Amino acid sequence: MIELISAGLLIWRLSVELRRGQAFSESAERLVSRIGGGLLFALAAYVVVSAGWSLWTKHGAEFSVPGLLISVLVIPIMRYLARRKIALADRLGSRALRTDAVESITCGWLSLVVVVSLVGQGVLGVWWVDAFGSRAIVWFLVKEGREAWAGDECACD
């Protein structure tokens, strides 16, 4: 849901520039960047709460072959999508687009955590791997969320 909200905001931001020009797009850029930062904070909170709940209830992810296959496919797709978004953010100098790319990066990392977790749980019976693995990316979400919230010029790499 967070990814869809971010994409919708980004489309709105770009349409503002097309319709009203550069002057209006700068304020839309700041607004969308700040909302994107808030969405990254919300995603970090969700990951922490979800991982905490899994640890509290001592319940890991449910294994399914379709779930594993989808997660494996999502990793390269999100990597490609994030790289393209970052390249475009560099060209446009868009913090909002960079923030949206971070959400794609996060989706790819979380998919990797799911794959490792499902394999680890299936092979070794370690139900807690998913909770610890997903919490490992919270620092990244908070760091990027702070940068997006501040709305500084995009120093995209």
Domains of the chain by residue range: 2-150
| The pair of three-digit structure tokens given for residue 25, joined into one six-digit string | 């797009």
Segment 68-76 shows an average pLDDT of 94
Q: Can you read off the two tokens belonging to residue 103?
A: 């959400």
Instruction: Name which of 60, 64, 45, 57 is nearest 131 in CA terms.
Output: 60
Structure confidence at residue 70 (pLDDT): 93
pTM across the whole model: 0.77
Measured CA to CA, the distance from residue 28 to residue 71 in angstroms comes to: 34
pLDDT at 65: 86
Percent of the chain topping pLDDT 70: 93
Distance CA 130, CA 116 (A): 8
Inter-residue contact 3 to 99 (CB < 8 Å): no
Tell which phi-psi region holds residue 113, choosing left (phi > 0), alpha (psi between -120 and 50) or beta: alpha
pLDDT of residue 75: 96
Q: What is the CB neighbour count within 10 angstroms for residue 120? A: 18
